[in-house]
Amino acid sequence: MIAGYISVFSAIVIGLAVADLATSFHKLMRHRQRVRWDWLVFAAALMVLLNLVAVWWVTLLWYDGVKDMKIAAYLPDLAILLLLFLATAAILPDEVPAEGLDLRTFYLTNSTYFWILWAIIVALVIVVLGPRYLPNADWPVFMREEVPNFAFLGGAIILAWTKRYWVHAAIVIAMLGYTLWDYLPQGMV
- As a whole number of angstroms, the distance between CA 75 and CA 77 comes to 5
Pair 127, 62: CB distance under 8 Å: no
Position with higher pLDDT, 62 vs 33: 33
Position with higher pLDDT, 147 vs 59: 147
Average pLDDT of the chain is 92
The average pLDDT across 64-87 equals 90
- For residue 115, the model assigns a pLDDT of 98
Residue 173 banded pLDDT, cuts 50, 70, 90 = very high
Could you give the count of Cα atoms lying within 13 Å of 84 in the half-sphere of its Cβ?
30
- For residue 142, the model assigns a pLDDT of 85
Count of CB atoms within 10 A of residue 35's CB?
18
- For residue 14, the model assigns a pLDDT of 96
Residue 1 banded pLDDT, cuts 50, 70, 90 = low
- As a whole number of angstroms, the distance between CA 81 and CA 64 comes to 18
The average pLDDT across 119-136 equals 88
- For residue 188, the model assigns a pLDDT of 53
Q: First CA to last CA across the chain, in angstroms?
A: 20
H or E segment to which residue 36 belongs: strand 35-36
- For residue 187, the model assigns a pLDDT of 61
- For residue 70, the model assigns a pLDDT of 85
pLDDT tens-digit map of 104-117: 999 999 999 999 99
- For residue 65, the model assigns a pLDDT of 75
Sign of torsion over alpha carbons 10, 154, 184, 103: positive
pTM: 0.92
Beta bridge partners of 35: 101
